[in-house]
Amino acid sequence: MADQTTSSNEQATDSQCSPGPSGKATLLAGGAFVLLVGLLIGASLWLFAGLTALAAVIVNRFLANLWTRCVVAKRLGGDVEVRQGDQISVGIELHNTSRIPVLWLLAEDVLPPRAILFTPPALEVQGERVQIFMLWPNQKRVIEYKIKCNRRGHYQIGPMVLETGDVMGLFRRFSLGAEPSYVTVLPKIVPLDAYDIASRRPMGEIRMRDNLFEDPTRLRGIRRWQTGDPMRRVHWAATARTGILHSKVYEPSSIAGATVILDMHVDSNPIRHEPVRGDLAVMAAAGIARALHEVSQPVGLVSNGRDAADRIQTQGWVGDYRVRDQAKRQAADAVENDRMRPINLSADRGPGQLQEIRSTLARLERSDALTLPELLIEVEGQLSRETTLLFIVPEATEDDLAAIIGLARQGAAVAVIINTLEVDQYLDLAGPLIAMRIPTYHLTDEQSIRGICQQVNLTAIT
């Protein structure tokens, strides 16, 4: 697909740069007119000047077209996936395939505007990605620069746009030099001190401190029979040996798995808080996924955000790159999103599941498609009720809170992490949830992620 796109752009450039039948006819008509005027009035000097100017135009146009076609660019390396804070090298090789020198060539490797806006930028460029130079016949030149990945995301590097023209400035030509590559920056993982959120599943792999549920597969000991003990708990061997009724005592256990539901709607994530609050929510989700993976518990991810890779695939980078500004606009993000498909990774175990969740979180962007209640309606039948439904919300409307409380009333184990810096806003949002005995946690900054799932009101999810 990329080869076809590049070929179509090159053909369009050639057709734009090469003089067609109408252009040749215009040049011949102009030359004949100058020659006729010079012969009629006997002005040999004017005739010479006119022919010289005409020859200069023809030669300059020929050189501009030739230099555009003869420069071939190739990107060194391909798509990469790195961690936040890593540094990558970008290289593009330019080759002059003609037998005459290219007197000037401007090469620019385009980066998306959102990647270089903030301080520090998401992609910090070290070196020159815009250069102008001369290429001798059959000469190769490599443009190299480095990028430090300061923030998670999925970024398009390129395409490279080439600009050249004649020495007199009469003609300017643009062409697509090299197709883009893509960099996925994985979110930073903050290790959790503890994860104490348990689901409603009565039998699992995690021993609990409080007697929420007793696991009949885990015998802790025996004690004297008490009034109210069911007969199926009687330890008949001990009863026969002592002649006194004894009952079995079981260990409480549960499963600590979670399905993280991350709200990335634009109304809940206002632009004034971005990218700080959005990245903080992603880091919290990644830390929870890592903590559950370390204890071999299932973890899933559901979000109403959009996948940057999906956006790039649908929008593409096909455009008219004979104008550099057009290439820059094409590399920018689209404001509207017309894709309504939510992100839904079912709860599962294993390193493959963790890596898929990290990669998905890295590419996650805000979306204006599904609100939180609409998301829950869309995926309600696919949510694992054996895991805790762990919401991460920055702001919540009455409809959002009603949807969360509705799941709790249906019997699901629900916990909510409120991603806000202001204590008053946290209290306003947490009030209705606490009234319904739903555990709530306050996510303020990166340091608070370590203990975000540590202090748990376990009696609230019985």
Average pLDDT over residues 377-403: 90
pLDDT, residue 56, reads 83
Q: Class of the 258-305+342-461 domain?
A: alpha beta
Of 103, 105, 97, 83, nearest to 152 (Cα)?
83
> And the tokens for 189?
């993982």
Name all contacts of 427-435 with Cβ < 8 Å and 24+ positions apart.
Answer: 429/393, 429/395, 429/396, 429/401, 432/401, 432/405, 433/401, 433/404, 433/405
Q: DSSP letter for 252, please.
A: E
More confident call, 195 vs 438: 438
pLDDT, residue 329, reads 56
Q: Class of the 72-186 domain?
A: mainly beta
Average pLDDT over residues 180-196: 88
Q: How far is CA 348 from CA 197, 244, 262, 391, in A?
A: 17, 46, 17, 18
pLDDT, residue 199, reads 57
Name the pTM for this structure: 0.75
To the nearest whole percent, how much of the chain has pLDDT over 90?
A: 40
Segment 63-92, tens digit of pLDDT: 888 888 899 999 998 899 999 999 999 999
Segment 88-116, tens digit of pLDDT: 999 999 999 999 999 999 999 988 888 88
CA 57 to centroid of chain Cα atoms: 49
Contacts with 318 (C-beta within 8 Å, 6 or more apart), sequence order: 5, 330
The answer to whether residue 440 scores a pLDDT higher than 60 is: yes
Average pLDDT over residues 404-411: 91
Segment 326-377, tens digit of pLDDT: 555 555 544 455 556 889 999 998 999 999 999 999 999 999 889 999 999 9
Contact 174, 323 (CB under 8 A): yes
Burial of 252 (0-12, 13-18, 19+ CB in 10 A): buried
